[in-house]
Amino acid sequence: MKARIDRTVLLAVVALLIVAPWILQAVEHEFWLDILAEVLIWSLFAASVNVLFGYAGLLSFGQALFFGMGMFGVAIGIAKLGLGFWPALGLGMAVAVGTAAITGALAVRLTWHYFAIITVVFSLIFYFIALSAKPLTGGDDGTSFVMPAMLEAGEFELSLTDQTVQYFFILAVVAAAYFVKFLIVRSPFGMALMAVRENDVRASLIGLNVYFLRWSAFVIAGAFAGLAGCLFAMFGRYASATYMFYHVSGEGVVWTIIGGAGTLFGPVVGTALLIVVREELSNMWEHYPILVGIVVILTVIFAPKGLMGFWNALLDRLSQRPADRAAGEAPPQEEDAAAAPVPREGRP
């Protein structure tokens, strides 16, 4: 029953996301389409935190580094090297994944606090480098660029300058990335990661290569963050070093934890909730971050598994099968692979 509810909700949300441009047009709230796109991009960023923290048990406060690398790869590729749409995307991804592979080889030698701290240190190093390498990155001002067309065939041109095309491009990429994440989590590799998360000594004793597994998770997470950065650069036609600062990483961690770390769609839920809250409240109350901070602390204290953990517990209780309830409370939440977020369009 739980799986069926989850599937229904997931399908409903996906259907809503697909028809969203027309609904928003009908009610003349086109502005929200961009916010929806932004939510999708940042939820991909949160997914990157989730791969590391939720599944591999490594809390990274440095994912903004790869986000920024993706951004600069795209922006510098287009503005300085004159690349087209797809080569620039490829460059952004290559830079982000390359950085993740190198820094990851060093970072995953450490765990726990040390890992969290070294990821901050690495992202700070690159943040300062990006700030001081003015000719390349534009320093404080960043680099802006003019969007090249995505597809050109004679008269026909497909470009992200069209708001609807941009939305669907972002939706498709993020959905594909989440599908990849779903496959990874379900694969033997994903299971091995969770084994490492639960107990790395035992995992190594049954023959798992803990270092390599952690490094792979780090690179995959770097790829997700880099992809989010590429999308965000294309979305804003802009790259800036401020997005590499550890506060951005911190936001990703916050979204993930509030949504539910270690669940497939937790990051989407957390990101959607907090960005919608930001959009709604920032007009009414300038100091709304106070509320965000309070929600973060309350979540950590009272619902450490986040909103998805709450949702799962609720469904388990509804289905009233003690066996399910016991399974739902066990730390590894593989059943969440099929879980779905709560509907995120708070308004039409």
From the list 53, 66, 178, 232, which residue makes contact with another protein (rule: CB under 8 A)? 53
Q: Does 28 bind another protein (CB under 8 A)?
A: no
From the list 12, 102, 129, 151, which residue makes contact with another protein (rule: CB under 8 A)? 129
From the list 158, 165, 296, 303, which residue makes contact with another protein (rule: CB under 8 A)? 296
Burial class (CB in 10 A: 0-12, 13-18, 19+), 85: buried
Q: What are phi and psi of 345, to 5 degrees?
A: -80, 100
From the list 300, 314, 318, 326, which residue makes contact with another protein (rule: CB under 8 A)? 300
Q: Does 135 bind another protein (CB under 8 A)?
A: no
Q: Pattern of binders to another protein over 304-323, x per CB under 8 A?
A: x-------------------
Interface size with another protein, residues (CB under 8 A): 39
Of the two residues 184 and 295, which places its CB atom closer to another protein in the complex? 295
Cα distances (Å, whole numbers) of residue 4 to 1, 11, 93, 309: 5, 11, 36, 17
Structure tokens at 19: 């028809």
Q: Does 293 bind another protein (CB under 8 A)?
A: yes
| Cβ-based neighbour number of residue 15 at 10 Å | 10
From the list 236, 250, 277, 321, which residue makes contact with another protein (rule: CB under 8 A)? 250
Q: Does 110 bind another protein (CB under 8 A)?
A: yes
140 contacts: CB under 8 Å, gap ≥ 6: 131, 240, 241
Q: Does 124 bind another protein (CB under 8 A)?
A: yes
Q: Does 114 bind another protein (CB under 8 A)?
A: yes
Distance CA 293, CA 219 (A): 30
Q: Does 254 bind another protein (CB under 8 A)?
A: yes
From the list 22, 31, 86, 128, which residue makes contact with another protein (rule: CB under 8 A)? 128
Least distance (Å) between residue 292 CB and another protein: 6
Q: Does 297 bind another protein (CB under 8 A)?
A: yes
Q: Does 290 bind another protein (CB under 8 A)?
A: yes
Of the two residues 59 and 273, which places its CB atom closer to another protein in the complex? 59
33 contacts: CB under 8 Å, gap ≥ 6: 20, 21, 24, 163, 164, 167
Q: Does 1 bind another protein (CB under 8 A)?
A: no
209-248: contacts with another protein (CB under 8 A): 247
Question: Could you give the residue ranges of the DSSP H alpha helices within the chain?
Answer: 2-26, 31-50, 63-79, 85-107, 112-132, 134-137, 163-186, 188-198, 200-205, 210-236, 246-259, 266-284, 289-302, 306-319, 322-329
Per-position DSSP letters for 14-70, written without gaps between them: HHHHHHHHHHHHHTT-THHHHHHHHHHHHHHHHHHHHIIIIIT----S-HHHHHHHH
Structure tokens at 339: 């879980």
From the list 28, 113, 146, 330, which residue makes contact with another protein (rule: CB under 8 A)? 113
Of the two residues 289 and 346, which places its CB atom closer to another protein in the complex? 289
Distance CA 217, CA 235 (A): 27
Q: Does 4 bind another protein (CB under 8 A)?
A: no
From the list 10, 101, 149, 292, which residue makes contact with another protein (rule: CB under 8 A)? 292
**Three-class secondary structure of residue 347 per DSSP:** coil
Q: Does 101 bind another protein (CB under 8 A)?
A: no
> Dihedral of CA 243/245/247/251: which sign?
positive
**Three-class secondary structure of residue 143 per DSSP:** strand
Of the two residues 94 and 295, which places its CB atom closer to another protein in the complex? 295
Residues near another protein (CB under 8 A): 53, 59, 61, 106, 109-110, 112-114, 116-118, 120-122, 124-125, 128-129, 131-132, 247, 250, 253-254, 257, 286-287, 289-290, 292-297, 300-301, 304
